[in-house]
Amino acid sequence: MFLVVTLLFSCSFILSGQAFSDDRVTSLPGLSGKLDFNMYSGYLDASPGTHLHYVFVESENDPAKDPLLLWLNGGPGCSSLLGFFTEQGPFRLNGNSSLDRNPYAWNKVANVIFLESPSGVGYSYSDSGNYTHDDDSTSLDALLAIKSWFNKFQAFKYHAFYLTGESYAGVYIPTLSVRLLEEPDINYVGFAIGNGYLDQYLLGNSMLRFAYYHGLLDSQTWNTIVSSCCNHGDESPDSCNFATNTNPKCVDIVNKANTFINKISLNPYAIYEDCKTSASSSSVMLDKKSSNHSTKVQSYRAKSGWHLIRNTINTVFHKSSHTKVNTDNEKVAGQTIPCVDDTNLINYLSRSDVRDALKIPSTLPDWTDCSETVSSNYKMQYPSLKKQVIASIKAGKRGLIYNGDTDMVCDFLGDEWFSDQLGFKQIGEYEPWYVNNQVAGFVKHYQGFAYATIRGSGHTVPEYRPAAALYMIEKFLARNKLV
């Protein structure tokens, strides 16, 4: 049986007015005990006929003074409710559909908006049913949705506002950031990007090096790669081109390495975690007529961007070979996605009582973690986000680029190279940072931003290393260095 929980009202609700009163969430199926923060779920207006779904949770600390964060999962095409229920949101879903409180939720220290973007993702929709997007249209709709949110929650107008997210949010955030530079009425302060898809070429080049130095390729293969793809056999990043090299010898050995890595069923998002393959050939079977919510769903996602493995390894890493990676397991929405099981979350968010609690129109289809319609029709416009990130930092916006160091899709090497190449002066040395007297990762500071790794974490840092993630974001918001 699911318990109905009445939410407590904070003073910030009184200050904010009534523009969002219809969005207030008064109960969540599966949750026991009272909440000590306010929660809202509803829709924000973007471009004409576009309605983006959001969930907002106030800070458990001091909502009237704490900063405001926007969280975006990636894809493109994956829902930010993944972040809400599996990463840094206030709840964690159990196998029996009960909800536990997350002791490392980011709303311990901040007010957090989770936005399902662009339309067609999760419960966001367009009146026209057209879900063709690109990077520019997505950032514009996100900006319009933010403005719509501030119209509802006017008491937060002067709060320090941050952009946060991961994976393909490495594109979403910089493109949205430069738009916010032209919005003086929004107190935009900075951004934090986790395991970001920040530079297509750099990630394409770093992936092979990551694979070799994590024991996925043998020395004979690596030596052949270096001699075939690097100038004069020089292994340095500046001399090697694994991503766009047209040398036939390089193409052949890169193909060989790629084929080996892809056929071994390794979890590319966290290489030391198991790949859940027990139902890897099963498809989503969702009985929309079921009223008892006993629907069986088999879905496997690549966290916040399943198709990045396709785009990074296949499109970038093997652009020179023109050889298609075997994508038999790369299926979405009615199909399977390798290595991570979202069955329980898909079932939970597709239930009628949960939809009612979140104010979801009954006319919308069931929730999916990642939308094949959006991803397959999405146009990627920016192979590198250096220009946008540099402009944001030069405008005085504080930055944090962080990477779980066991993720091979958006690996730490490529994002560290990206950070180095932005051209800002490094301040101090590369050094460890600690949580509970243990090494949590490593960090180096630049003028205006920091680059950090999280030791032992996969693609979704708040999921794999929640204590370190909360410590890191709290330090960042407080304008304190990790060390």
Helix (H, G, I), strand (E, B) or coil at 35: coil
pLDDT digits (tens, 9 = 90+) for 67-103: 999 999 999 999 999 999 999 999 999 988 999 999 9
Rounded to whole angstroms, the Cα distance separating 66 from 481 reads: 19
Instruction: Provide the 10 A C-beta neighbour count for residue 183.
Output: 14
Rounded to whole angstroms, the Cα distance separating 430 from 416 reads: 11
445 is catalytic: no
Q: Which residue among 53, 133, 159, 459 is the active-site one?
A: 459
Rounded to whole angstroms, the Cα distance separating 392 from 386 reads: 10
pLDDT of residue 481: 87
Burial of 78 (0-12, 13-18, 19+ CB in 10 A): buried
Greater confidence (314 vs 112) lies with 112
pLDDT of residue 18: 56
pLDDT digits (tens, 9 = 90+) for 277-310: 533 323 332 233 333 333 333 333 333 333 333 4
Q: Which residue among 366, 407, 411, 415 is the active-site one?
A: 407
**Rg, C-alpha atoms of the chain:** 22
Model confidence band, residue 255 (pLDDT cutoffs 50, 70, 90):
very high
pLDDT digits (tens, 9 = 90+) for 207-217: 999 999 999 99
pLDDT digits (tens, 9 = 90+) for 124-141: 999 999 999 999 999 999
Q: Which residue among 59, 80, 167, 304 is the active-site one?
A: 167
Rounded to whole angstroms, the Cα distance separating 147 from 126 reads: 18
Lowest mean pLDDT segment, chosen from 26-35, 171-180, 300-309, 331-340: 300-309
pLDDT of residue 304: 35
pLDDT digits (tens, 9 = 90+) for 386-433: 999 999 999 999 999 999 999 999 999 999 999 999 999 999 999 999
pLDDT digits (tens, 9 = 90+) for 142-177: 999 999 999 999 999 999 999 999 999 999 999 999
Q: Which two tokens stand for residue 316?
A: 């970038």
317: pLDDT strictly greater than 60: no
Greater confidence (65 vs 310) lies with 65
Name the fold adopted by 11-199+383-477. Answer: Rossmann fold (3.40.50)
Q: Where are the domains of the chain?
A: 11-199+383-477
pLDDT of residue 338: 66
407 is catalytic: yes
135 is catalytic: no
51: pLDDT strictly greater than 90: yes
pLDDT of residue 27: 85
179: pLDDT strictly greater than 90: yes
